[in-house]
Amino acid sequence: MKFMCLTLLLVSGITDSRSEQYEVVGPADPVFAVAGEDVILPCSVKPSFSVVDMRVEWFRLDLKDSSLVHLYDDHEDRNTDQIQSYRGRTKLIHQELQRGNTSLKLSTVRVSDEGVYKCFIQSKSWFDEATFNVSVEAVGRPPVITVDGFDRSGGLHLQCESEGWNPEPDLEWLDSEGVSLSSETAETHRNTDRFSLKQAIIVYHSGKIHCRVKLRHHMLETLINTTNNMFDSWRTSVILISVCVVLIVIAGILIAVFAHKKRAHDQLQDEHRKIQTVFIESFNLVLISMKVTLDADSAHRRLIVSDDGKQVRDEISRNAVDDGKHRFDEYLGVLGKDGSSSGSFYFEVQVKDQTWWDLGVARESIKRSGRLGLRPDVGYWTVRRRDTRYWALESPSVSLSLRVELQRIGVFVDYEKGLVSFYEVESMSHIYSYTSQSFNEKLFLFVGLGYQWEYVNSTPLIICDDY
């Protein structure tokens, strides 16, 4: 009997000693996730050994109520008491448990997922845990600039608004040289779990004014071109208003006070409408500054480019055209006829009913033969659709979680800023932006329909002019 007790004590001591050699390890720094995408919350046992027979629990420590995020016990997931908002979004890779990897995959990240997480592992004779923070980024809507008229000194009031961000981003005004401008007023509001911003500024000179919203690695920007005509219109308005005031004073001697006030009000309203009309016309000039057409001489032999250079489609059979050195030979691609190496430009392409395409801009010296890697480091800045999925072709590619099916895509390029942004025109929503790029050649419109051995859809892509 004494011998058996001694043996049990020795076995227990050995087990406890071995247990002290292991620890649960999580990330040393906060985990950053993007709203709408998936994220892996790292956790593992070091040195690695199988935890298949153990209990694995994931908790939220910053919530007052039920804090269970995921539970694995007795060789299966048991999420009856899981937080409601995590239902169907958490997953342990069971085959990884053999190697001591208890990392949790969290799908379709929400801003409300931000908080403090604990990974807890327990056996019959040992337990340990790791705690770390998760921060969630949400990219908001592109900023919108509105004009609120002139003040008495001739300054043009501009207001910039953007919403849907997390955490709170930075908003700044820049002139055409990229110099930061001081704002007049600033407002920030948090609606549920996202931030909205509003800033106003007064400008006294013509030129391009940029409103930029930045959050870590994300940036959205819009601009307005304040022209001399706008300020000339203000000066004319001041003269007209002054004359009207004099006339109203004289007329006030002859007519009743009521008629006098009504006339002044109507004239001021008319001047305000004139100022708004000038602004709208000036802003439209910025948007339509570049008309693009397709270069049929660069198109793959299987592509049909319309006579006006505004449409391209896949006809499957090869056309009777020469294989020039500038023509794509395997990839079904085509470039725009005219390029740009300065300033900013914008164009729109209709992709409705076409489910297999690449769209964006490319530099003049790109490779056009054989297999192509459509990445920025080889001269392509594009977004892609393959059946129901969308991608930004970064290195590596970024999966895009979009709320709408893309129908008409707007592409905005600011050459000097190294910016290429994509927008869904019909829903007025932002798709993706390449920022801080380095351009050193002309950039051309680029359209592609995949490789000649891939999926075929004869629906044309159409260059739009009606914006």
- Residue appearing with tokens 């419109």: 445
The pair of structure tokens assigned to 314 is: 């896949």
Task: Going residue by residue through the chain, which has 467 residues, state the pLDDT in tens, using 9 for 90 and above.
Answer: 444 443 443 344 434 444 558 899 999 999 999 999 999 999 999 999 999 999 999 999 998 776 999 999 999 999 999 999 999 999 999 999 999 999 999 999 999 999 999 999 999 999 999 999 999 998 888 999 988 877 777 788 888 998 888 888 889 888 888 888 887 677 888 877 788 888 888 888 778 899 999 887 788 888 888 876 655 554 455 445 555 655 666 666 666 555 555 664 454 345 334 333 333 333 343 444 467 899 999 999 889 999 999 999 988 776 657 667 789 988 999 999 999 999 999 999 999 999 999 999 999 999 998 888 899 999 999 999 998 999 999 988 999 998 889 999 999 999 999 999 999 998 888 999 999 999 999 999 999 998 877 767 789 999 998 76
Q: Give the integer Cα–Cα distance in Å for 336 and 323.
A: 18
Q: What angle do CA 167, 401, 452 make, to 5 degrees?
A: 145
DSSP type of residue 393? -
Q: Which residue has the tokens 């729109």?
A: 348
- CA–CA separation, 65 vs 70, rounded Å? 15
**Length of the chain counted residue by residue:** 467
Side by side, which strands form the sheet with 76-77?
A: 31-34, 127-137, 115-122, 55-60, 68-73, 76-77
**Cβ density class 207-224: b for 16+ within 10 Å, e for less:** ebbbbbbebeebbbbbbb
State whether the Cα torsion 11-15-17-18 is positive or negative.
Answer: positive
- Do 390 and 407 contact (CB within 8 A), yes or no? no
Instruction: Count other Cβ atoms within 10 Å, centred on residue 83.
Output: 18
**Tokens encoding 95:** 């085959």
What distance in Å separates the CA atoms of residue 466 and residue 77, rounded to the nearest whole number?
A: 55
Find the helix or strand (DSSP H, E) in which 427 lies.
none
List strand residue ranges (DSSP E) for 76-126, in order. 76-77, 90-92, 104-106, 115-122
Token digits for 214?
């930045």
Residue whose C-alpha is closest to residue 167's, from 237, 83, 111 = 111
- Does the model's pTM come out above 0.75? no
Nearest 5°: phi and psi at 6?
-60, -40
257: enclosing H helix or E strand: helix 257-287
